[in-house]
């Protein structure tokens, strides 16, 4: 249902600049997608730049019961930024005027549209680090990362977005401007609303400013690569490293299908008869990591690695990680559609999860490639398919369900870092009993009595099921 002209006029008045209010058809169609599946066209897009604008629009929308969907750069993988009930998309991507690094407090204060990697780059200039590094960090906005509680390879050692958000400014669905948390590391004053907002997927409010924790930047890194002829053995190697007293900054994983894909795309000299390759990065003091890398090297050999290779120079290190980066384009060449899942298991269950994934691949006769972060149990099984092939997509839907079942069986969770959004909401009752879900719904009801804020996300409606066709 298109918005009444007087609503559009009121929004233009709130924003004060007509060119930041988009209602042309080609513009609206351009805000109907993100990096997940699904396509939903909004009725209006507003490119906000001040908190008063957001508050004004929220008040108007709440009064008129118009859905609002907050959006950053729409690189999310679970549909969080999709306006599935139409209405207003609040685009914060142009709002990037504040990026302050306070070195003495070791914090950053940022506007919602600041690009994640820019925060880390600014921190680097004064010897600090903002650790969360989702692979989209060169394009994703910080508000999007906070709403989805994004992870990344460094999550293994440093944790994820929620571990770095100290305080927020948020506009509630009723249009109130509130503050949560603050600028201190320790803060137990009142309920921790900061943590509630982080990962709430845009269903409780619109993030308009964030205070982030920074840490000292490690002085050096060193990397090694280990090749295995048995995928499950590679899983044990991960467990062995993690229980050795050494915590690498990254452990990344590639299975045989991804090795083949890379070798046929751009030959890098990987052994094609191998079943798995691990890439391990250690960071810290140069002397300490030199010692640690030797230990990990021997540990890999002891766990049955066919070959272990240490990157001695920064050139070698760069080349090693380039192989890992090639996986995505290499597998994408194969089939047009890539369904990237992020079901996650406890670290000790990595070998079992790998075994279950192999069985699922055979049972449903799908092309399943497993690569990505491994050390934190957040394996990324990717299903390669063709969206246009309806029969194939039916099989894929079943395989996705089987992957979730396997992860939950092993004590894991539906999503490690992508979020529930639209894609996984029908599986929520698999992970939560009725009352656990009910408490979440009550929180939503208290914050958003008219259900205007990103409606249709996270909570399943009766009869909801995963549809990829």
CB of 110 to another protein, least distance (A): 17
CB of 66 to another protein, least distance (A): 21
Considering beta carbons, is residue 75 or 249 the nearer one to another protein?
75
CB of 25 to another protein, least distance (A): 6
Considering beta carbons, is residue 298 or 388 the nearer one to another protein?
388
How many other CB atoms sit within 10 Å of the CB of residue 388?
10
Considering beta carbons, is residue 338 or 394 the nearer one to another protein?
338
Binding site for another protein (CB under 8 A): 22, 25-27, 29-35, 47, 73-75, 91, 94, 115, 136, 138-139, 328-329, 332-333, 336-338, 387-388
Considering beta carbons, is residue 29 or 467 the nearer one to another protein?
29
Alpha helices in 180-305 (DSSP H): 193-197, 231-242, 256-265, 286-302
d(CA 135, CA 418): 11
Tokens standing for 460?
Answer: 């399943």
d(CA 417, CA 415): 6
d(CA 417, CA 28): 28
CB of 199 to another protein, least distance (A): 21
CB 251 within 8 A of CB 356: no
CB of 109 to another protein, least distance (A): 22
Strand pairing class (88-91; 68-71):
parallel
d(CA 144, CA 114): 10
Helix, strand, or coil here: 440? helix
Considering beta carbons, is residue 89 or 407 the nearer one to another protein?
89
Helix, strand, or coil here: 211? strand
d(CA 345, CA 60): 43
CB of 27 to another protein, least distance (A): 5
Considering beta carbons, is residue 216 or 329 the nearer one to another protein?
329
CB of 373 to another protein, least distance (A): 17
Q: How many residues does the chain have?
A: 469
HEC assignment per residue over 270-305: CCCCCCEEEEEEEEECHHHHHHHHHHHHHHHHHCCC
Strand pairing class (107-110; 206-213):
antiparallel
d(CA 204, CA 173): 7
Q: Is 450 exposed, middle or buried (0-12, 13-18, 19+ CB in 10 A)?
A: middle
Considering beta carbons, is residue 239 or 387 the nearer one to another protein?
387
d(CA 108, CA 435): 38
CB 151 within 8 A of CB 134: yes
Centroid of chain to Cα 53: 28
Considering beta carbons, is residue 259 or 282 the nearer one to another protein?
259
CB of 64 to another protein, least distance (A): 25
CB of 144 to another protein, least distance (A): 10
d(CA 365, CA 305): 29
CB 54 within 8 A of CB 71: no
The secondary element (H helix, E strand) that includes residue 377 is none
CB of 362 to another protein, least distance (A): 26
CB of 333 to another protein, least distance (A): 6
Considering beta carbons, is residue 116 or 221 the nearer one to another protein?
116
Q: How far is CA 318 from CA 63, 115, 150, 179, 289, in A?
A: 54, 24, 25, 42, 17
CB of 419 to another protein, least distance (A): 15
């Amino acid at each position: 249902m298109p918005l009444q002209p007087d609503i559009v006029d009121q929004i233009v008045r709130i924003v004060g600049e007509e060119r930041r209010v988009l209602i042309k058809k080609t513009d609206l169609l351009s805000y109907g997608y993100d990096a997940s599946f699904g396509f939903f066209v909004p009725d209006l897009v507003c490119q906000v730049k001040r908190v008063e604008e957001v508050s004004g629009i929220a008040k108007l929308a709440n009064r008129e019961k118009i859905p609002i969907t907050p959006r950053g750069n729409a690189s999310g993988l679970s549909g969080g930024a999709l306006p599935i009930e139409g209405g207003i998309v609040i685009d914060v991507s142009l709002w990037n005027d504040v990026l302050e690094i306070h070195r003495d407090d070791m914090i950053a204060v940022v506007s919602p549209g600041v690009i994640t990697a820019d925060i880390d780059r600014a921190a680097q200039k004064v010897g600090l680090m903002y650790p969360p590094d989702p692979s989209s960090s060169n394009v994703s906005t910080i508000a999007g990362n906070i709403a989805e509680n994004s992870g990344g390879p460094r999550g293994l050692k440093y944790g994820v977005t929620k571990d770095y958000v100290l305080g927020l400014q948020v506009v509630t669905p009723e249009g109130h401007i509130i503050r949560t948390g603050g600028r201190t590391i320790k803060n137990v004053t009142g309920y921790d609303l900061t943590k509630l907002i982080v990962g709430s997927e845009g269903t409780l409010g619109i993030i308009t400013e964030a205070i982030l924790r920074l840490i000292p930047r490690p002085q050096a890194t060193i990397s090694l690569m280990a090749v295995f002829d048995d995928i499950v053995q590679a899983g044990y190697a991960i467990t062995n490293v993690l229980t050795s007293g050494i915590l690498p900054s990254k452990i990344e994983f590639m299975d045989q299908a991804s090795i083949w894909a890379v070798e046929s795309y751009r030959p890098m000299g990987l052994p094609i008869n191998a079943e798995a390759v691990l890439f391990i990065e250690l960071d810290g003091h140069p002397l300490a990591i030199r010692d640690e890398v030797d230990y990990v090297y021997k540990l890999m050999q002891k766990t049955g690695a066919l070959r272990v290779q240490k990157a001695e120079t920064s050139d070698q290190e760069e080349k090693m990680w380039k192989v890992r980066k090639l996986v995505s384009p290499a597998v994408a060449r194969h089939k047009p559609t890539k369904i990237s899942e992020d079901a996650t298991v406890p670290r000790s269950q990595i070998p079992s999860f790998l075994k279950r994934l192999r069985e699922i691949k055979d049972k449903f006769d799908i092309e399943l490639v497993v690569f990505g972060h491994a050390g934190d149990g957040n394996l990324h099984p990717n299903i390669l398919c063709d969206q246009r092939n309806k029969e194939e997509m039916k099989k894929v839907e079943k395989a996705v369900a089987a992957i979730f079942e396997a992860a939950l069986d092993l004590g894991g969770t539906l999503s490690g870092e992508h979020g529930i959004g639209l894609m996984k909401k029908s599986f929520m009752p698999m992970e939560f009993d009725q009352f656990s879900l009910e408490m979440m719904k009550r929180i939503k009801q208290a914050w958003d009595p008219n259900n205007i804020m990103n409606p249709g996300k996270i909570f399943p409606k009766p009869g909801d099921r995963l549809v990829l066709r």
